[in-house]
Amino acid sequence: MSQTTDTNRSIRLAARPQGAPKPENFRLETAPVPTPADGQVLLRTVYLSLDPYMRGRMSDAPSYAEPVAVDDVMCGATVCRVAQSRHSDYREGDWVLAYTGWQDYALSDGQGLQKLAADMAHPSHALGILGMPGFTAYMGLLDIGAPQAGETLVVAAATGPVGATVGQIGKLKGCRVVGIAGGEEKCRHAVETLGFDACIDHHRADLAEALAEACSQGIDIYYENVGGKVFDAVMPLLNARARIPVCGVIAHYNATSLPDGPDRLPMLEGLILRKRLRMQGFIIWNDYGHRYDEFYRDMSTWYAEGRIKYREQIVDGLENAPQAFIGLLEGKNFGKLVIQVGEPA
């Protein structure tokens, strides 16, 4: 079923997942398209962003944000057209960045909306390189990672929207950049297209040895968005005063218990102490929302000049969002994953 003018499709959380999400954790519902009241706009979703953090919002475990309630619309950033307006600041046809979730239509009183340029060539890029993933890469690396020319930067999920941007900014700052990605094709892309100095396939049985060979001078910055075996391979290579921005640990999002094997926390705490490591988590809008304009100025310039390259994977159809999201958590995406919900015009 395609997007129509009279039916609002929405994908809701049917049940909280135990371990990896499955199709039965989602439910597609239909309802009439709502009508805006005075001071409201009706938004029609054109593009929906799928991001790993959504897995955490499907759980009711304590976190930095409220979980999605069972039976509620799944959360997510969207790029929308204003379909109808009874708000003085918006006109029909305006492009806006919103947070209306996995559905065709939503009402808004204007709070939290961000107008996009009417002539923006690729409005979906507001969900990626010019949006949250690009912002996350920019602030995490530059503010916490504090890269210096000649240092070695390692980034996992190196061809994802965050990792690919981290590595390219690192190159702009004069770092030696080593990526870690899943598969030969992604590793070739990191080196040949993104300009990384090396990229290691995390499926290799000798991951730790290969990473050590690529980082012969140790690691000064590790941009953490994966965890698991990748962090195990990184730990012994960290140099004194290394910086570790932590924006995600996707390897653990579906975990229902602690990992097997010895408790590695004492080893990590000892390493932090002896090497005076800086390991800091951050939530991009909570911690850096006031610096968005700085990011947008730099990133839009770098992108326009071709100094930052960006890959987007668009999946057609709202009904395909659950399976695409499941694949995202399994590393099946290649670039920023976006659902095209409706037609741009």
Side-chain-side CA neighbours of 254 within 13 Å: the count stands at 14
Mean pLDDT of all residues belonging to the chain: 94
Model confidence band, residue 261 (pLDDT cutoffs 50, 70, 90): confident
Stretch among 3-17, 120-134, 264-278 having the lowest mean pLDDT = 264-278
The percent of residues in the chain predicted with pLDDT above 70, rounded, is: 97
> Are 200 and 136 in a shared domain?
yes
What pLDDT does residue 256 have?
Answer: 63
DSSP class of 224: B
pLDDT tens across 28-80, in order? Answer: 999 999 999 999 999 999 999 999 999 999 999 888 888 999 999 999 999 99
Instruction: Find the CATH number of the domain harbouring 108.
Output: 3.90.180.10
pLDDT tens across 198-251, in order? Answer: 999 999 999 999 999 999 999 999 999 988 899 999 999 999 999 999 998 876
Answer for the pair 141, 170: CB distance below 8 angstroms, yes or no: yes
> Are 170 and 46 in a shared domain?
no
- pLDDT at position 1 over 80: no
- Of 269, 285, 301, which one is at a domain's C-terminal end? 285
Answer for the pair 203, 182: CB distance below 8 angstroms, yes or no: yes
> Are 258 and 144 in a shared domain?
yes
Supply the range of the domain harboring residue 40.
7-125+310-340
**Cα separation, 167 vs 158, whole angstroms:** 7
Does residue 292 fall inside a structural domain? no
Instruction: Find the CATH number of the domain harbouring 155.
Output: 3.40.50.720
Q: What is the pTM of this model?
A: 0.90
> Are 248 and 140 in a shared domain?
yes
